[in-house]
Amino acid sequence: MRLSAVVVVLALGCGSASGHRASDPAPRAATERVLVSGPIDRDATPETRALFHNLRRLASQHVLFGHQDDLAYGYDWVAEPGRSDVKDVTGSFPAVYGWELSGLETGKAANIDGVEFARMRGWIAEGYRRGGVITASWHMDNPVTGGNAWDTTSAVAAILPGGARHAQFTQSLDRLAEFLGSLRGPGRSSGGRDTPIPVIFRPWHEMTGGWFWWGLPHTTSYEYQRLWRFTVAYLRDVRGLHNLLYAYAPNASGADGIGTYMAGYPGDGYVDVLGYDSYFSDTRRPGDVASLTQSLSWLVAQAESRNKIPALTETGLQALRDSSFWTARLASAIKGDSVSRRIAYVMVWRNANRHTRTDEHFYVPYLGQATADDFRRFKADPLFRFEDALPDLYRTASQ
């Protein structure tokens, strides 16, 4: 990586300066360093700004634990107020809540997994009121065919400015913006008056894999970067959303693993969280824990040198058929060395309900599941924080 082109920009002037037009900026080398001292949105709300700084600070001491769809359903229940599989087993809600926005772009009432957006809004507010961190992924339907995110028909060029589906795409972003802007909860900066809820938005993820239409095998690095930058500029500058932090999250890919990480990187001026998606496989392979440690150390070093938040944004072991998975594999990998443990959070995927999906697609234990004891041991490790031991992430020392 060439580090010679260091550009120091303390306050990035791409917010209001663009005059409410989404820009389609010229290509930049992924290696270009733009040192921004806070979130990339210089107009970020006080709570969003506080979340950014607190996660960066916290990362050197603790790793927050997160779970996708935690409040909406679990392995054996759906929409029970106050219920969470994580809480059933450990006594605490997770610290990070992941939500999925697919379907919003076409105006559907529920997402791809049947979670109604109206209820999701309530669950997001509930988690935020308890001090948790909210993150959202977006498995957007293929805008050309109307198929789902796994329909890899070429589509990125068509939705960029000048493309045949560009207007349709901005309408999709409008629908997304409406939802993200409607999330409100008691603000720390406003004496408890409702303010926008900060969300770590993680679009266009796992682009180094071949399974989504926005993946790099189906577009070019340049188009991918334009897609990313357009998305940020549109939501922030045209729609005026200032409650978002943006997470870039490639997956583990190919023999060189993290070596492909920067393939779609849109530049330091467009990313707040350096994420990484990497799953465990059923059989323990020699070196798999050590290799995740190595990847995380690399990620942390990159994030720290760029003033970003490092995070293991998606991970887990489907069906948890390994009784010491949590301590012997996940915790061991994160604690593998003094650098890898400095990620801000780790989030595991959803507990698909066993009545609607029969292939044991779950990632945290439910009561009685074989890894429940080990999951409690993981929680007892002082490195990991669940909701019951969270500092106030939405207030900075000076507020």
Q: Which residues bind ligand BMA (CB under 6 A)?
A: 100, 112-113, 139, 350, 361
CB contact at 8 A, 200 and 247: yes
Q: Which is nearer to ligand BMA, 139 or 308 (CB)?
A: 139
Q: In whole angstroms, give the CA distance from residue 265 to residue 270.
A: 9
Query: How far apart are alpha carbons 123 and 241 in whole angstroms?
Result: 20
Q: How far is the CB of 188 from ligand BMA (least distance, A)?
A: 30
Q: Is 105 an annotated catalytic residue?
A: no
CB of 137 to ligand BMA, least distance (A): 7
Q: Spell out the residues 6+ positions from residue 189 whose beta carbon is closer than 8 angstroms to its own.
A: 45, 46, 47, 195, 395, 399
Of 104, 143, 126, the closest CA to residue 197 belongs to 126
C-beta of 291: minimal distance to ligand BMA in Å?
22
Which residue number, 137 or 295, has a Cβ lying nearer to ligand BMA?
A: 137
R_g of the chain computed on alpha carbons: 20
- Of the residues 100, 105, 223, 314, which is catalytic? 314
Residue 329 tokens read as: 């594999």
SS3 of residue 346 by DSSP: strand
Provide the minimum distance between the beta carbon of 359 and ligand BMA in the complex, in angstroms, as a whole number: 9
Give least dist CB 350 to ligand BMA, A: 6
Q: What is the DSSP letter of 265?
A: -
Q: Annotated catalytic residue: which of 100, 206, 223, 387?
A: 206
CB-closest chain residue to ligand BMA:
100
Nearer to ligand BMA, 229 or 350 (CB): 350
Q: CA 281, 263, 331, 198: dihedral to nearest 10 degrees?
A: -120
CB of 143 or CB of 196, closer to ligand BMA: 143
Rounded to whole angstroms, the Cα distance separating 222 from 228 reads 10
Residue 278 in contact with residue 251, Cβ under 8 Å? Answer: yes
How many CA atoms within 13 Å lie on the side-chain side of 175? 17
Active site residue 206: yes
Q: Which is nearer to ligand BMA, 112 or 319 (CB)?
A: 112
Active site residues: 206, 314
